[in-house]
């Protein structure tokens, strides 16, 4: 997680934590928070459990993914770094494949500028050992 933040700083990206993973994507609001340098320096010695993860039955359904897509785009997020295992990667790969239709279906009322900005979806996988 710290490596991802440092890479983001290097490339001038704004980074966000999505607390509770896919559950946080669907809930939106304050579950998606911008990360500042202080946030990372405080947790460098801790593992990813600090931001949490949660199983999310709703994310397995198209309706849940539509809500998640809407929430992350409205926060200005156009790329994700997924930290966890194969199950998380498999689910986000479904979103990557569905992305154009998710945008079209959930953003019919959003401006063309927002649609263009978020028309591509990229995914990076980071392997992480959460053992203590």
Question: What's the confidence (pLDDT) of residue 126?
Answer: 45
49 has a pLDDT exceeding 60? no
Beta-carbon contacts of residue 54 (< 8 Å; ≥ 6 apart): 20, 21, 22, 23, 24
**Running DSSP on this structure, what letter comes out for residue 60?**
G
* pLDDT, mean of residues 90-118: 78
* pLDDT, mean of residues 13-38: 86
* pLDDT, mean of residues 35-44: 60
**Running DSSP on this structure, what letter comes out for residue 50?**
G
Q: Whose structure tokens read 């801790």?
A: 46
50 has a pLDDT exceeding 70? no
pLDDT, one tens digit per residue, over 68-100 is 988 988 888 888 888 777 788 888 889 889 988
**What backbone phi and psi angles, to 5 degrees, belong to 31?**
-75, -15
Q: Is 130 exposed, middle or buried (0-12, 13-18, 19+ CB in 10 A)?
A: exposed
Check: CB of residue 47 under 8 Å from CB of residue 93.
no
- CATH number of 2-126, picked from 1.10.150.530, 3.40.50.450, 1.10.1060.10, 3.20.20.70: 3.40.50.450
Is 0.75 surpassed by the pTM of this model? Answer: no
């Amino acid at each position: 997680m710290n490596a991802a933040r440092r890479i983001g700083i290097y490339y001038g990206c704004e980074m966000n934590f999505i607390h509770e993973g896919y559950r946080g994507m669907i809930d939106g609001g304050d579950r998606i928070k911008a990360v500042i340098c202080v946030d990372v320096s405080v947790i460098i010695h801790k593992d990813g459990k600090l931001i949490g993860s949660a199983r999310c039955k709703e994310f397995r359904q198209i309706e849940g993914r539509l809500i998640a897509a809407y929430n992350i785009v409205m926060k200005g997020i156009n790329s994700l770094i997924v930290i966890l295992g194969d199950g998380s990667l498999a689910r986000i790969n479904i979103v990557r494949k569905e992305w154009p239709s998710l945008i079209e279906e959930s953003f019919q009322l959003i401006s063309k500028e927002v649609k263009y900005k978020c028309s591509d979806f990229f995914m990076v996988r980071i392997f992480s050992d959460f053992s203590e």
